[in-house]
Amino acid sequence: MPIPDGPPRSRLAATRRSLIERLPDLEDRVRWQEFYDTYWRLIYAVSRKAGLSDAEAHDVVQETVIGVARSIGRYRRDAGSFKAWLLQLTRWRIVDQLRKRSPAAAARASSSGTATLERIADPAGAALDEVWDTEWRESLLKAALAQVKRQVSAPHFQIFDCAALKRWAPAKVAAELGVSVAQVYLVKHRIAALLKREVARLEKLP
């Protein structure tokens, strides 16, 4: 099943605008904009796979990012990974949305708590933690690719896209793009190293 791209562009823009206005540290909007751009797809996709509607998932994104902004001062890296901490915040916001649906849903959420979400599965039958792991990797890779694309020339990114992402043979890339095989190897290696560093940097946000 394809990963959903998320809310329509108009809704995404409205979410971002509303969220940034509600952040407690308004002087650091650039930092939180980057955080949002990095993680909104992750939170949205996991919320959808947990059974929430587009609008509910949209709300989970906002409330989770705001929760991070308000709680980050109390987060201690030696107490656990940021990845696990963000999952827990997202999990609580998903439960909040389930509680709003109906009295019956609220009773189930209240009595089961985390266990309710642990039983939620995607179409492939994976538990929420497994869905989170998959979406985490894919969301960070997408965000890192977007950052790297802005750091390198368009011709070089095209070489990397064909050689690394599309997995064309180096000879095919060279022939199609009019470059040498040696250049294909060089560009692929250089951008792959940039991508690896960018993923590592994003994992440390915020």
The string of pLDDT tens digits covering residues 40-89 is 889 999 999 888 999 999 999 999 988 887 787 676 665 567 888 888 89
Q: Is the domain covering 152-206 a CATH 1.10.10 domain?
A: yes
What is d(CA 178, CA 180) in angstroms, rounded to the nearest whole number?
7
Q: Evaluate whether 169 touches 48 at the Cβ level (below 8 Å).
A: no
Whether a cis peptide bond, with omega within 30° of 0, leads into 206 is yes
Give the tens place of pLDDT for each residue, 126-150: 477 888 888 888 888 988 999 899 9
In angstroms, what is the C-alpha Rg of the chain?
A: 20
By mean pLDDT, which of 5-19, 93-107, 186-200 is the weakest? Answer: 5-19
What is d(CA 102, CA 104) in angstroms, rounded to the nearest whole number?
5
Q: How far is CA 141 from CA 150, 195, 201, in A?
A: 14, 8, 11
Q: Where are the domains of the chain?
A: 9-137, 152-206
- Taking the whole predicted model, whether its pTM rises above 0.85 is answered as no
Give the tens place of pLDDT for each residue, 155-200: 999 999 999 999 999 999 999 999 999 999 999 999 999 999 998 8
Q: Evaluate whether 19 touches 66 at the Cβ level (below 8 Å).
A: yes
